[in-house]
Amino acid sequence: MEDDMENQIYERLRQKLDPYGVGFPNAESGIEMQILKKLFKPEEAELFLFLDLKPETAESIAKCGNKKSGAVEEILDQMFEKGLVFRRRKKGVATFGALPFAPGIFEQQSETMDETLASLFEGYYKEVFHKNFTETEPVLIHRPIPVNREIDVSYPMAVYDHSREIVRNQDLIAVTKCICRVQKGVLDKSCHKPVETCLMFGSQARYYMDRGTGRQISTDEALEILDLCEDAGLVTMPFNTQAPANICNCCSDCCVVLGTFKKHPRPAELIKPSFHAFVNRDLCEACETCLERCPMDAIHVERDDAAEIDLDRCIGCGLCMNVCPPQAIQLKQKPENEQVTPPETGMHMFMEIAKRRGVVPMAISKQ
């Protein structure tokens, strides 16, 4: 009977998480329950049911659960240390909010990832979780944008498509580890590309810094990290909003988002990028330098002929053009009517994702 009650709490927790972020769907194998039990103690799982995305005081949360506020705050602080809840302190008062599983709880396991959790997530992603990254197109949690090179543009480039301008507009920046390469590294499946590559801004940066999972950096350091990532062949992928809360730098070997895009038969249709690569056939030497560089396998060279771009697969990242010896590859801006403007805020993005997935937008009412 006790086991049944505990399992019911974890199932209610799964239901609570499912409308948030990219969701947390049922798996036929039940592996998602193993993940939750690995991360949450039963009392933590029960308390999470009384949280909303909007942070509240421990006293307010305790009233909802008919519990003592002191005991509730102690558990919430422990959950914060484990990366299970969001915590913000203002004028000495702490407030706590729910985190999605992804992006959120999963990313906060960068310092505690072990083989058990890494293996569980690997199995969960392969069984069912990967579907949640493709069924909401074109509202995605991250979107590829071009490398820092001269681009053929017909009209001004939006700030949300310009990685350097995104960084320069920030007052607080932190860098943290890429959870995808951490997770793959634990399983000895890493691509061995740089790991400390995720840039967090504003309140997200503060959260990572408070937890000790990110360190504050200057604007110049952030720009140097972008240069390092481009040199390493990583795709710049900011949070898919008009004022991104972070920038990830991703590889298609480890990244759950970019790796899922790569498996799609037409990644460009899924992502709807603002740019695409094109080849000047008069300059191309068919050296094939660009082939390995492309994260989507969108470039082909037939014998000694010029390289060709598969526009169904090109995501407009531009990594090919910054390794082309004769500079035969450039990026072109797509016509304005073919471009998709990102959601205004993270809240708008997650609400639209939830609607497209057919789940209750943003919150399940408190228990």
Please write the tens of the pLDDT for every residue from 337-358.
888 899 998 888 888 888 888 8
Please state the rounded mean pLDDT for residues 226-231. Answer: 94
Mean pLDDT of 61-85: 89
Set out the domains of the chain in order of their start, with CATH numbers.
2-100 (1.10.10.10), 129-257 (no CATH), 263-334 (3.30.70.20)
**% of the chain exceeding 90 in pLDDT:** 71
Q: Token match 């799964």: residue?
A: 14
Alpha-carbon dihedral of residues 167, 168, 173, 177, nearest 10 degrees?
Answer: 30
* 152 bridge partner residues: 332
pLDDT confidence of 363, banded at 50, 70, 90?
Answer: very low
Q: How far apart are CA 364 and CA 361, in angstroms?
A: 8
What is the layout of strands, in order, in the sheet containing 246-250? Answer: 214-217, 173-177, 196-201, 246-250, 235-238
In tens, the pLDDT along 152-177 reads 655 566 788 899 999 999 999 999 99
Give the position of tokens 């061995």: 192
- Is pLDDT at 27 greater than 90 in this prediction? yes
Of 239 and 362, the one with more pLDDT:
239
* pLDDT reported for residue 156: 63
- The alpha carbon of residue 220 and the mean position of all alpha carbons in its chain are separated, in whole angstroms, by 23
Bigger pLDDT: 54 vs 367: 54
Render the burial of 185-211: b for 16+ CB within 10 Å, e for the rest.
bbeeebbebbbbbbbbbeebbbbbbeb
Task: Judge whether residue 60 has pLDDT over 80.
Answer: yes
Please state whether beta strands 93-98 and 173-177 pair in parallel, antiparallel, or not at all (unpaired).
Answer: unpaired
Average pLDDT of the residues in 302-314:
90
- Check pLDDT > 60 for residue 267: yes
Measured distance CA(313)–CA(309) in Å, rounded: 8
Q: Residues 308, 311, 316, CA angle at the centre, nearest 5°?
A: 100
Cα atoms in the 13 Å half-sphere on the side-chain side of 59: 2
pLDDT of residue 227 exceeding 70:
yes
Cβ atoms of residues 76 and 51 within 8 Å? no
pLDDT at 360: 67
349 or 69, greater pLDDT: 349
Mean pLDDT of 133-157: 75
**Cα separation of the two ends of the chain:** 21
Report the distance separating Cα 250 and Cα 167, nearest Å.
Answer: 17
| Mean per-residue pLDDT, 141-146 | 90
What does the mean pLDDT of the chain come to?
90
In whole angstroms, give the CA distance from residue 367 to residue 357: 23
Average confidence (pLDDT) over 224-238: 95
Q: Is the pTM of this model over 0.85?
A: yes
pLDDT at 322: 87
Given a contact cutoff of 8 angstroms between Cβ atoms, the answer to whether 98 and 21 are in contact is: no
Whether 49 and 366 have beta carbons less than 8 Å apart is answered as yes
Among 74-88, 213-227, 317-331, the least confident range? 317-331
Which residue would you say has higher pLDDT here, 333 or 68? 333
Q: By the 8 A CB rule, do 157 and 240 touch?
A: no
β-pairing verdict for 56-57 and 173-177? unpaired
pLDDT for the residue 158: 77
Query: What pLDDT, on the 0 to 100 scale, is given for residue 319?
Result: 94
CA gap 151, 333 in Å, rounded:
8
Closest CA to 123 of 32, 9, 258, 209: 32
Lowest mean pLDDT among 2-6, 107-111, 185-189, 262-266: 2-6
Asked if pLDDT for residue 367 goes beyond 50, the answer is no
Distance (Å, whole) CA 341 – CA 273: 10
Q: What is the mean pLDDT of residues 303-319?
A: 91
pLDDT at 214 over 90: yes
Query: In the chain, pLDDT over 70 holds for what percent of residues?
Result: 95
Determine the Cα–Cα distance for residues 334 and 6; give it in Å rounded to an integer.
53
Compute the average pLDDT of residues 292-304. 90
Averaged pLDDT, 21-49: 95
**Confidence at 82, pLDDT banded by 50, 70, 90:** very high
Mean local confidence (pLDDT), 244-252: 95
Q: Name which of 306-310, 315-319, 361-365 the model is least confident about.
A: 361-365
Instruction: For the beta carbon of residue 366, count every other beta carbon within 10 angstroms.
Output: 12
